[in-house]
Amino acid sequence: MINRSSLSRSSNIELKDKSVIKYFPSTDTYWREFKVYERGLPMVPELISYEEPKWIEIGYIEGEPYLNMLPEPELIYLLADTLGNFHRATRTDNLCLCHWDNQPSNILYSQNHIWLIDFSESKFSFPEDDITHLLLFWCAEFSPDILLTLIEKFIYRYQIHLPLNANIWQDALACSLKRFNQRRFSSGHPLHHLKKEQFNLNVSYVSKLLSPSRSN
């Protein structure tokens, strides 16, 4: 659970009764987050007040990292709808706003709602960059038989909102895998909860997910 005691240990967070004030070490990170919250999208906390370019105050979300709730089928659909709507709402040509740091602690489940938080690394890119990175957390968590069902349900539902490009998918996955492993290594987390062989098998499945023979 993401709660007040865990948040209060962060030096750049100030907790109020129903809100969070986040202070920023750089102008760049301030604007990355502010430009997301000012859109007023339904899957991000409410922007309450701000002082450019020092801090923003947003609504506090008491939620659980969504990965703790999987493999609940209804949560898969809810997650796919949330991310699909977020990407579609921010889309310009073939690019959309990508979270880029979509680890489970930044995607919270609360009262049948998915919330996206912490956009300090967000950037415009292909949606495939966000989706492949998201799926790597599943590859590290679930056995291949469970993963297959989860991903097929998720990808089918997500593409109701926004199609994914098979030609972009492979390069996006390679970049996401590099980023995923680097971050886990630097944070001291184990690279995979599963055996390496199982993780690699899962990644191989993801790499073939949008191959031409499967895309129709």
pTM of the model: 0.90
**SS3 of 13, please?**
strand
CA distance 114 to 96: 19
| Sequence ranges of the domains in the chain | 4-59, 64-207
**SS3 of 52, please?**
coil
Above 80 in pLDDT, residue 8?
no
CATH class of the domain whose range is 64-207: alpha beta
Above 60 in pLDDT, residue 4?
no
Per-residue pLDDT tens digits for 126-144: 999 999 999 999 999 999 9
Q: Which of 32, 26, 24, 56 is nearest to 123 (CA)?
A: 32
Per-residue pLDDT tens digits for 64-119: 999 999 988 899 999 999 999 999 999 999 999 999 999 999 999 999 999 999 99
Predicted local distance difference test score (pLDDT) of residue 1: 46
Predicted local distance difference test score (pLDDT) of residue 216: 42
User: Mean pLDDT, to the nearest integer, of 177-187?
Assistant: 86
Which conformational region is residue 22 in: left (phi greater than 0), alpha (psi within -120 to 50 degrees), or beta? beta
Q: What burial class does residue 159 get, using C-beta atoms within 10 Å of its C-beta: 0-12 exposed, 13-18 middle, 19+ buried?
A: middle
CA distance 29 to 34: 9
User: Mean pLDDT, to the nearest integer, of 39-66?
Assistant: 97
User: Mean pLDDT, to the nearest integer, of 11-32?
Assistant: 93
